[in-house]
Amino acid sequence: MYTKILVVLLCIFALNNATFIDCGSKLGNFTQVSVTNCTETASTCNLRRGSNATIDIAFTIDRDISNVNTVVHGILMDIPVPFPIPNADACANSDSGITCPLQTGKLYNYKATLPIYKKYPKVSVTVKWELQDENKNDIICIFIPAKLV
């Protein structure tokens, strides 16, 4: 009985501290995510306006993929607002750390930098970071609770 209660409490604690949430990865699984100045135990990532935020994602895929595109949105009041990202074509971007085509069974380490412009308002936002295949299917989809400061 006590073991069950302990397991439930640990699950609730883990969920309350989860920063990076899978939002519908279909063709892959992320094994590790890091964002500049953000810890995995923080409830939100503080993204400083006028700076850049770098994201690193380690992931595997379930099938071979020929092309990878990056799509980023900020979700405010359930409305997705596109965040422009330079070099959205991850395969053509030598800084992304991945080379296409991607092959099943390999571990990939993707990296991207997103400018956080000073003109952005100081708000709490959920960042939706997607890596999509050539057919716009989500390879990886990650929700990142954040605050623009």
Residue ranges per structural domain of the chain:
2-148
pLDDT at 84: 80
Give the pLDDT confidence score for residue 136 in this predicted structure: 96
- Confidence grade of residue 68 (pLDDT, cut at 50, 70, 90): very high
Which residues 6+ apart lie within 8 Å of 103 measured at CB? 61, 64
The band of 87, judged by pLDDT with boundaries at 50, 70 and 90, is confident
Alpha-carbon gap, residue 45 to 70, rounded angstroms = 20
pLDDT, one tens digit per residue, over 12-62 is: 333 334 489 999 999 999 999 999 878 666 789 999 999 999 999 999 999
Looking only at Cα atoms, what is the longest distance across the chain? 55
Note the pLDDT of residue 10.
30
Checking if the pLDDT of 3 tops 60, the result is no
C-alpha–C-alpha distance, residues 122 and 124, integer Å: 7
25 torsion bin: left (phi>0), alpha (psi -120 to 50), beta (else):
beta
- pLDDT averaged over the chain? 86
Determine the pLDDT at residue 82: 93
Enter the CATH code of domain 2-148. Answer: 2.60.40.770
Which residues, including other chains, have CB under 8 Å from residue 67's CB and lie 6 or more apart? Answer: 89, 91, 100, 101, 133, 134
What was the pLDDT predicted at 40? Answer: 63
- E strands in 7-121: 21-22, 28-35, 45-47, 51-61, 69-76, 79-82, 108-116
Residue 125 has pLDDT above 50, yes or no: yes
